[in-house]
Structure 1
Amino acid sequence: MLKSRYYFLFLCTLVYISCTNQQPAHAQAKNTDHIVPQLKIRKNLTDEQLLDLVQKQTFRYFWDFGHPVSGMARERSNKSFDYGDEVVTTGGTGFGVMATIVAAERKFITREQAAARTKKIVDFLWKADMFHGAFPHWMNGETGRVIRFSPKDDGADLVETSFLFQGLLTARQYYTADNAVESDIRNKILWMWEGIEWNWFTQQQNVLYWHWSPNNDWSMNHQLKGWNECFITYVLAASSPKFAIDKRVYEDGWANSNTFFNGKKFLGITLPLGFDFGGPLFFSHYSFLGLDPRGLKDRYADYFEQNKNHTLINHAYCVENPKHYKGYGENSWGLTASDSWQGYAAHSPTEDLGVISPTAALSAFPYTPEYSMKALKHFYFDLGDKIWTEYGFVDGFSEEHNWYAKSHLAIDQGPIICMIENYRSGLLWKLFMSSPDVKKGLDKLGIESTAIKN
């Protein structure tokens, strides 16, 4: 397998492949005072009411099911291997921190409740295991100690750290009140942010490395190159106030790959960057929960065009449905990494198992609002009795195989809430892009942003 293709399949298959559809773990310490279950399908909702409902219900994953000690997001609603209920995820927590801001602004919870939960998370991270300032992928949500993600992945995970801090920097711009709780949130986020040694993760080369372990050193040897979900890692590495990378690391490392440029047409739509047909749709979601792609461009690409065209190709493929799977069509589309009837898989037009992942179309609202709304209405009104649950939509389903997941994943639920909100109000984009450090980082990399100019 080519190293470039392994790059994006690594996260999707190396560890999760045996995380199958087990019975959900029991949530602990539920607080349902402000969030009422809506399991019965409600008819005659307006578009705005439906969007409200989906954001509110999906948020329950982070609010009700968050770890009772740390407040961190659990990896998934069913057990991850034999680790039990204690596994929490750093990247998914970053998404959850942003979802909590949305919940406060939408009045699902109060601002005080949002700040208290965020402070719990920040206080936990302040004492948790970190390595040269970077956090591991998985931790024990009670103790803060590393839980090994794969045989040699028991230390720093730079990509998960970047997903986490995309959320924390957004929170730092949001919690600006002059009180002890919000002041402590801001201060601890700043101190942790300043301590991440991004440039150390280059090994004095012009490329970032994904992992480092105190037990296994650099043995995973995984460079961050090519177009995929890791764009935000380079942006934050350039934005660091104390340990920033040079522009050459971005140019010679990230953009110097045979999977970076594309420029070909797929189903009549030009794809500027990335794998043929675009790969799974999370490439256009994870880095852009805070990073505003509108008017974001450099000499390589217009990133809104990149993400929109990637989504349009994914949609067009599902409509064409070359494998003739049951259930695919104009109202039921979206291929991205999720659980499937065979285990976890990186669904895309080139790895199509007949599984639709609701997060794919719903997190694409900023790029394809008309197509995403059609999918949302179909998922809720037509399939809701099979895929609508206490935590929103399930992780995936296949009408072809009569399979409907009973699982939810933090990294799939979070983007639904956040990207719908960015479509509706641009809230998270405005907050993240207002960070002075982010502005400096983008400028350093030669990335223009009309959001910053405005």
Structure 2
Amino acid sequence: MKRTLLAIPLLAAQLFYGCQSASETTTATAETAATDSTATAELSDEELLTLVQERTFQYFWDGAEPTSGLARERIHMDGVYPQNDQNVVTTGATGFGLMAIVVGMERGFITREEGVQHLQKMVNFLEKADRFHGAWPHWIQGETGRVKPFGKKDNGGDLVETAFLVQGLLTVRQYLQDGNEQEKALATQIDKLWKEVDWNWYRKGGQNVLYWHWSPEYNWEMNFPVSGYNECLVMYVLAASSPTHGVPAEVYHEGWAQNGDIKSDAKAYGREVVLNHNGHKGSVGPMFWAHYSYLGLDPRGLTDKYADYWKLNQNHTMIQHDYCVDNPKGYKGYGEDAWGLTSSYSMNGYAGHSPENDLGVISPTAALSSYPYAKEESLKVMRHLYEDLGDKVWGKYGFYDAYSEEHNWYTPRYLGIDQGPIPVMIENGRTGLLWDLFMSAPEVQTGLKKLGFQSPQLK
């Protein structure tokens, strides 16, 4: 699911995501919102973290599209699908789901054998699904593997979503590569898929920037060069890391980093912004920008000549926290235990929530997926959602996508791209598991060095 607001006009995003007006949304009740009530006995922090991980993992396990095993774009517990798209799978969330399945195996939510069997199904499907110069489309028909257009001209390769998928695939490859014969064979199968992505093609004729889309029907008409800062850092890292279709370092420095103009000297709530968020000097974007690229890319001690990426993401988190505590618009429910603005459903359709576009909507993934950056602050939100709001926001696959106390708006609906970072980033905050796996990939090590990064993970 694309979230860069400059790349996708909000009106179009509302149409693409099939969101609905407040009159069409269903207010969650005890009957529709959850399969069971929240527990009355208070859980320890560790118990709560594990429960949230397990429930959210189930989105990608129990809730997976049955033919492909991939992550559904959305699951609506009220059964209402405005676009009748309940079997459409989404590439980026599938990448996150791959990593969530590794969490499930490690945490014992499923057995290793069950996990490997499901991963095999997913990889077999991805191998046969439509690809465009090695890149998968944003949406895929789960029953057939054929592209489902995300928009009229967005019916080809989506390099950003592909990067999120490859991040997950490489993590799984590293997890399985020293396993039994079946696991080693699956790791080899993944390796082939990764090496077939033609990152260099997406330079649109050799330019020193990567383009988001290419279509066999519309070619480059989408015309979205990806220039920082937003959620797409891992795409540039992977493009530089590819041993088969890699790009030179200049693509990163000139295209993504804008020859240094990406750097910011602005502050918000007394904290350095570090990088200009999508060209907006002094502002911070939706919270997912600190999540998607960092499910695998370890920001701890990660630096280059533009930024300290731990500082970037921790400050982004705390600026959003401080903004919601300050609550300049006076919205009901905001505070220490209810903060976090990111792109999600809203009362009036899909919206890119941020301090610059605050509609009074809290998206649970924002604070929960920020657990590594602000553990205490994230846990306060988690506990408030689970213990105080309960069935209004908690259901079969964990916390629902978004809610608003200000507008008395609660909806029992999930988006895959928002559920995915929750179990993965919580695990990274607890053990660093996914960070360690992704960063151990030798190609990633080579790519990061090529771009001038430094990290304790680099050998």
Q: Give the TM-score normalised by the residue count of structure 2.
A: 0.92
DSSP 3-state at the match of 1:77: strand
Look up the match of 2:104: 103
- CA distance 1:417–1:264, change in 2 (3 Å): same
Residue segments in structure 2 that go unaligned for 5+ positions in a row: 27-33
Contact 1:137 1:149 in 2 (8 A): yes
- CA distance 1:335–1:9, change in 2 (3 Å): farther
Contact 1:13 1:346 in 2 (8 A): no
> Which of 233, 239, 242 is the aligned partner of 1:240?
242
Matched, 1:362 2:360: no
* 14-23 vs 290-299, greater mean Cα deviation: 14-23
Contact 1:277 1:310 in 2 (8 A): no
Look up the match of 2:303: 297
- CA distance 1:364–1:158, change in 2 (3 Å): same
Q: Return the offset for 1:85.
A: 2.2
Look up the match of 1:136: 137
> What whole-Å deviation, never above 9, does each CA across 1:380-432 have from its counterpart, x for those lacking one?
11111210100100000000000012111111111010000000000000000
Which amino acid counterpart does residue 39 of structure 2 have in structure 1? I
Contact 2:253 2:259 in 1 (8 A): no
* 379-388 vs 76-85, greater mean Cα deviation: 76-85
> Which of 403, 410, 434 is the aligned partner of 1:397?
403
Which residues in structure 2 correspond to 1:21-100 (within 5 Å)?
A: 39-78=37-76, 81-100=82-101
CA distance in structure 2 between the aligned counterparts of 1:269 and 1:294, rounded to whole angstroms: 18
Contact 1:207 1:224 in 2 (8 A): yes
Contact 1:12 1:344 in 2 (8 A): no
CA distance in structure 1 between the aligned counterparts of 2:94 and 2:193, rounded to whole angstroms: 15
- CA distance 1:100–1:9, change in 2 (3 Å): farther
- CA distance 1:342–1:74, change in 2 (3 Å): same
> What whole-Å deviation, never above 9, does each CA across 1:216-241 have from its counterpart, x for those lacking one?
00111100002000001000000101
CA distance in structure 1 between the aligned counterparts of 2:81 and 2:142, rounded to whole angstroms: 13
CA RMSD of aligned residues (A): 2.0
Look up the match of 2:31: none
* 429-438 vs 248-257, greater mean Cα deviation: 248-257
Look up the match of 1:20: 20
Contact 1:226 1:258 in 2 (8 A): no
- CA distance 1:331–1:372, change in 2 (3 Å): same
- CA distance 1:446–1:259, change in 2 (3 Å): closer
Look up the match of 1:161: 162
Which amino acid counterpart does residue 377 of structure 1 have in structure 2? R
CA distance in structure 2 between the aligned counterparts of 1:258 and 1:19, rounded to whole angstroms: 38
Which amino acid counterpart does residue 221 of structure 2 have in structure 1? S
Contact 1:232 1:291 in 2 (8 A): yes
Which amino acid counterpart does residue 405 of structure 1 have in structure 2? T
DSSP 3-state at the match of 2:332: coil
Contact 1:14 1:150 in 2 (8 A): no
- CA distance 1:174–1:37, change in 2 (3 Å): farther
Look up the match of 2:412: 406
Which residues in structure 2 correspond to 1:304-315 (within 5 Å)?
A: 304-315=310-321
Look up the match of 1:267: 269
Which amino acid counterpart does residue 251 of structure 2 have in structure 1? V
- CA distance 1:153–1:88, change in 2 (3 Å): same
> What whole-Å deviation, never above 9, does each CA across 1:13-68 have from its counterpart, x for those lacking one?
264454238789xxxxxxxxxxx966433422100000010001111111111011
Look up the match of 1:27: none
DSSP 3-state at the match of 1:72: coil
Which amino acid counterpart does residue 350 of structure 1 have in structure 2? E
CA distance in structure 1 between the aligned counterparts of 2:321 and 2:65, rounded to whole angstroms: 35
- CA distance 1:251–1:336, change in 2 (3 Å): same
Contact 2:302 2:309 in 1 (8 A): yes
Matched, 1:388 2:394: yes
- CA distance 1:281–1:12, change in 2 (3 Å): farther
DSSP 3-state at the match of 1:297: coil
Contact 1:39 1:390 in 2 (8 A): no
- CA distance 1:400–1:76, change in 2 (3 Å): same
Contact 1:226 1:259 in 2 (8 A): no
> What whole-Å deviation, never above 9, does each CA across 1:145-177 have from its counterpart, x for those lacking one?
000001100000000000001000000000135
CA distance in structure 1 between the aligned counterparts of 2:148 and 2:344, rounded to whole angstroms: 21
* 365-374 vs 259-268, greater mean Cα deviation: 259-268
Look up the match of 1:421: 427
* 326-335 vs 42-51, greater mean Cα deviation: 42-51
CA distance in structure 1 between the aligned counterparts of 2:49 and 2:75, rounded to whole angstroms: 23
Which residues in structure 2 correspond to 1:164-313 (within 5 Å)?
A: 164-203=165-204, 204-256=206-258, 260-273=262-275, 274=277, 275=280, 276-313=282-319
Look up the match of 2:151: 150
Count of aligned pairs: 439
CA distance in structure 2 between the aligned counterparts of 1:287 and 1:103, rounded to whole angstroms: 21
Which amino acid counterpart does residue 305 of structure 2 have in structure 1? R
Q: Return the offset for 1:82.
A: 2.3
Contact 2:14 2:351 in 1 (8 A): no
* 102-111 vs 259-268, greater mean Cα deviation: 259-268
- CA distance 1:336–1:101, change in 2 (3 Å): same
Look up the match of 1:32: none
Contact 1:169 1:189 in 2 (8 A): yes
Q: Give the TM-score normalised by the residue count of structure 1.
A: 0.93
